[in-house]
Amino acid sequence: MSDAKTQIDETVNANDVVLYMKGTKSMPQCGFSSRVAGVLNYMGVEFTDVNVLADEDIRQGIKDYSDWPTIPQLYVKGEFVGGCDIITEMTLSGELDQLFDQKGVNYDKQAAEKIREANA
């Protein structure tokens, strides 16, 4: 398990935005992963996707790493942000925009507004 922790640590710290998910950003394999990847893709966020279905050690390791029981898990600049429900709430409230602004992550502000308008 320490190999998985090391690998996760390196991935999270080497990339600005990382999504641990079931499937890939181009082919999510669960609804929750699809929702978070969809938000990031729509907002034009460059992110690294890690398919937990491809590696059982990573799948369990990411849950231990964050002390969070579910997948997907979003990391921004090395910091665990949350899973699907938290990312959805943050997107709708504008908190995700604020986080990206604070961390210097590029995203499409108009796309973020469109998501909020569509869900108002």
The binding site comprises: 30
* Close Cβ partners of 108 (under 8 Å, ≥ 6 residues apart): 42, 43, 44
Beta-carbon count within 10 A of 39 CB: 23
- Binding annotation for [2Fe-2S] cluster: 30
CA pair distance 44, 36, nearest whole angstrom: 12
The helix/strand/coil state of 66 is helix
Q: What angle do CA 94, 97, 101 make, to 5 degrees?
A: 140
